[in-house]
A and B are shown apart, each in its own frame.
Chain A
């Protein structure tokens, strides 16, 4: 593996090929917010908070830095108007029905005190659906006991019936869960009938 050289916010950084822009920024001490990134897990690109502007062949593009592989000569800007606008709005979206978690700290940093969005019709959920628990369970523990159910606006985290017995003792995903939301799920579940964290829409 060779080394590539790229510029982030004017700083030139050397880093091994195959790493991501987020890695490069972290190496250079440039902070990029993320909710769904974890160094031990595969890049996922779901929270979109780590979006940055890249410039390549004089063309600008917005990308998720946690997934974008480093390239020679790449110019990265982590603080542009569009990047800020996206981050602020994503934080607001999260705040509107997810009252606790890392994004609350982020909100303070970006000067957001209140979300302009009304509380959604679904009840407040302590889960931001970052998927860290699901992926940690699958990729590291290989238990496949935590999963997503539902799709779109009904997406929720649930324990896999029949397999979730392991959760009572394992609890390894607790360490990756932002503000301990998975604790709530696992503790709530006494048997395999697992209610999802965000109630599914009633039929």
Chain B
């Protein structure tokens, strides 16, 4: 590969790519993100390649392993350009038909189109599907056009022009000024003004400075960083290089968790390709700017996403947070000024440099600019990645884009901000989502996880789930986080088995406040959020659990299963599925559940075709609780 040594050569390289592209006028893009790969996307790709060869269409048709467009619910996803025909849930065996019908005969296959559940009409074009239509995909938009392993694709769509613009048309101070003017705020959760962070590192006195991409996303149900890093790594790397130039750093790190093997792979390939083209290393594009990037694989600890812990990990030590009274921007990696930003924050930078701060400012709300990618999961029809302008309401995200709650169930709450975010009830559905609005109501933006819950969710159980996660993921260094979470979890466990009293809940509240105020890092400081927000909005459920009831009928310790004699046909299915042989009965006679043996797994309830198994909650005859009093 010949090296690109000047801005002019880069533009020439791009022109050549455009010329080459001109001959292949049909592109079949198959999402090759982790989600679709799990749904046999690789086989789909292989079949396409074979079929295209068989039909001797290779000169005209290009098959692309593309990045994740976000509609993970409907994988494997295939989009055929230029018509933008969008096929969902494509199986490897559908490929031959797609090639012979759609590619050769130009006929659309209705069975593979997305059908709008409201109008029940099939939708042909990707951009007409409500899930995509109501988004503003400035970051994710190119994913489906780009083969993330191929740098040429990125360059073809304008890649590295922002870097060239920064290096040749702007002084580092001007780049910094542009980012400051854009009011970009950190997408990792804190929402700190990115420009100000950059400026602190830039102004710090040191011979050496570092920039870091934080791709240690570990929140249950969140995958926006993964999708960006897998799907369009060059966008992030270009942002990092521009940041390095503005800050005065010549060395960058990409911290990716080991559990994201594809993100690691694609990033490593991207860096290698950049080096081959001479876009990384010494004297980039002949500008005099030197820059190198190293990938560091995280060992899979949630706490390592915290900036000081992450830096300890890169230094080769245990990923434990340090007190940050002197900011890492001033004294970070090896005590040198270090600027760490989230994947999404860096990805915004090339867009801001290319389009200008004024363009970026037009998107979003007064104090939160730009778009935000959310990973919309849980009890919602269209799960996947959603990129919307800041200020879009929860209702628009969950109902218009997400298609609402499935199976006619009622919406109950939405958890925003990952495990340390808060659970917001229905009354906040019209809340415009931005950093400040979420914070005001006791939740947070976090990295953008959004978990929708329906009426079958027990909010005490949800709080228990998140506290359990965090107690496992805490590093255990400081007392409030380690011991505090241990006892918070214990009280929540007691609540779900009906063994907690009002005093326990009071203690839980008091403890939550202390953990919040006194923990060493943001993990501990935000860990009580799920408890405090559920106490704030769903206090009656806590009271119900004290009274021995789980209103959503979720907490096993508070359930009893019985068989309704009038409905039982004696089919024996429940008996067959009971793992502990708690159900007895002869064929065609009414069955019976022995509650002393029953482990309340709910299998019988799930399998009964006659609704004969009844789930009830209420005061249990618990010897333990009597003794406690």
A46→B478 contact, CB < 8 A = yes
Give, as a whole number of angstroms, the nearest-CB distance from A18 to chain B. 11
Give, as a whole number of angstroms, the nearest-CB distance from A157 to chain B. 11
Number of B interface residues, CB 8 Å? 32
* Residues 15-55 of chain A, each 1 if its beta carbon lies under 8 Å from chain B, else 0: 00000000000000000000000000001011111010000
A118→B476 contact, CB < 8 A = no
Q: Whose C-beta in chain B lies nearest to the C-beta of A98?
A: B483
Q: How big is chain A's contact interface, by range?
A: 35 or more
Choose one: B318, B472, B479, B517; the contact of A93 (CB below 8 Å): B479
Segment 458-507 of B: residues with Cβ below 8 Å from A: 471-480, 482-487, 490, 507
Known: A93-B479, A151-B476. A63 touches B325 (CB 8 A): yes
Give, as a whole number of angstroms, the nearest-CB distance from A66 to chain B. 8
User: How far apart sit A132 and B628, CA to CA, in the bound complex (Å)?
Assistant: 39
Q: Which residues of B contact A46 (CB under 8 A)?
A: 477-479, 520
B475→A151 contact, CB < 8 A = yes
Q: Does A90 contact B (CB under 8 A)?
A: yes
Q: Does A100 contact B (CB under 8 A)?
A: no
Q: Does A117 contact B (CB under 8 A)?
A: yes
B479→A86 contact, CB < 8 A = no
Choose one: A63, A90, A151; the contact of B514 (CB below 8 Å): A90
User: How far apart sit A82 and B490, CA to CA, in the bound complex (Å)?
Assistant: 24
User: How far apart sit A62 and B510, CA to CA, in the bound complex (Å)?
Assistant: 17
Give, as a whole number of angstroms, the nearest-CB distance from B5 to chain A. 47
User: How far apart sit A69 and B326, CA to CA, in the bound complex (Å)?
Assistant: 8
* Residues 162-193 of chain B, each 1 if its beta carbon lies under 8 Å from chain A, else 0: 00000000000000000000000000000000
Q: Whose C-beta in chain A lies nearest to the C-beta of B486?
A: A153
B479→A90 contact, CB < 8 A = yes
Q: Whose C-beta in chain A lies nearest to the C-beta of B475?
A: A151
Choose one: A45, A116, A153, A154; the contact of B507 (CB below 8 Å): A116
A151→B520 contact, CB < 8 A = no
* Residues 49-86 of chain A, each 1 if its beta carbon lies under 8 Å from chain B, else 0: 10100000000001110011100000000000010011
Known: A68-B325, A96-B487, A116-B507. A152 touches B482 (CB 8 A): yes
A153→B518 contact, CB < 8 A = no
Q: Does B519 contact A (CB under 8 A)?
A: yes
Besides A67-B325, A69-B325, 15 more A-B contacts (Cβ < 8 Å) are A45-B322, A45-B478, A46-B478, A47-B479, A67-B323, A82-B517, A89-B511, A90-B480, A90-B514, A118-B487, A120-B490, A128-B479, A150-B476, A151-B474, A153-B476
25 A-B interface contacts by CB (under 8 A): A46-B477, A46-B520, A51-B518, A68-B325, A86-B514, A89-B510, A90-B479, A90-B518, A93-B484, A94-B479, A94-B483, A117-B490, A120-B483, A128-B479, A129-B476, A129-B479, A148-B318, A148-B476, A150-B476, A151-B475, A152-B472, A152-B473, A152-B475, A153-B472, A153-B482
Ranked 3 nearest A-B pairs via Cβ: A155-B476, A67-B323, A93-B483
